[in-house]
Amino acid sequence: MRCLLLCLLLIPATCRADDAKDKPKAKAEPATDVLSAALTQAKKDGKAVFLAFGSPSCGWCRVLDRYHARPAVAAITGRHLVMTKVDIEENPGGGEMYAKYSPPGVQGVPTWVILSADGTVLADSFEEVKGREKKNVGFPAAPNELAHYEKVMRAALPKLSADDLATLMAELKDAQPKTK
C-alpha cells in the first residue's frame, strides 16, 4: 500500500518535469521591435542607444553583459544610454539587423553600435585597421581595442565626463576574464 501511495505521489511530479522539458521556449521579440522600443525610450529621455548584438553560445557576449551590469557602469551608462540587446539567433530578424550594422566581411559577436535617438549611427565596435578591412573589437580587451572603445565613447557621448569615462575604462579592464 505504501509503495502504491509513493508511486502515485511521484507520477505527477515526473510528468510535470517532463512536460516542462517538452514545452517550446518562449519566442523572443522581433529585433525591429526591440530597437524601436529602445529608440522611443531614448528620444523620450534625451539619450542615445547602445545596441549590442550577441548569441547564446558567445562567451564574450556574457562578459560584455556582466560589464554593463556592474553597478558603477550601469549608473554611468544609465545617464547617457538606453541599453538594448538583440540576439542574432533568438530574436526574429536579429541576423538581418546585425548585417545592416556590420561592415561587409566583418563578423563576430559581441558587436555593438551606439545610435542617436533618431537611429543615426554615432559609433560602433568596428576599429579601422590601416591597410586592412575594419575589425570588430567586440568586448574590448587588447590595448588597441580599449583605445577604440574610449575614443568612440568620447565621440558618441560628448556629455560623458572625464571622470565617468575613466571609471568606465577602469571597470572595463577589471571585467576582463583573468588568465592564469
Domain count, the chain: 1
Q: Is the pLDDT of residue 170 over 50?
A: yes
Q: Where are the alpha helices (DSSP H) in the chain?
A: 2-22, 31-45, 59-69, 71-80, 94-101, 143-156, 162-175
Range of the domain at 154: 31-175
Residue 17 falls inside a structural domain: no
Give whole-number Cα distances, 115 to 17, 20, 81, 179, in Å.
43, 39, 9, 33
Q: Which of residues 11 and 51 earns the better pLDDT score? A: 51
> Which candidate, 76, 27, 30, places its Cα nearest to that of 50?
76
Q: Is the dihedral of CA 134, 140, 141, 142 positive or negative?
A: positive
160 assigned to some structural domain? yes
Report if residue 171 sits inside a domain.
Answer: yes
pLDDT value of residue 22? 53
pTM of the predicted structure, to 2 decimals: 0.84
Residues 30-39 pLDDT 10s: 999 999 999 9
Rounded distance, CA 75 to CA 164, Å? 10
Closest CA to 146 of 131, 165, 120, 119: 165
Q: Would 56 be classed as within a structural domain? A: yes
Q: How far apart are CA 136 and CA 88, in angstroms?
A: 16
Residue range 9-34, pLDDT digits in tens: 444 444 444 444 554 556 899 999 99
The residues facing 112 across adjacent strands are 52
Q: Quick check: 31 and 94 in contact, CB under 8 A?
A: yes
Q: What CATH code is carried by the domain that includes residue 153?
A: 3.40.30.10
Residue 14 lies in a domain: no
> What are 81's three cell numbers?
544610454
* Residue 8 in domain: no
Q: Which of 5-9, 111-115, 171-175 has the lowest mean pLDDT?
A: 5-9
Residue 138 maps to a domain: yes
pLDDT in tens, 52-88: 999 999 999 999 999 999 999 999 999 999 999 999 9
Residue at 166 is within a domain: yes
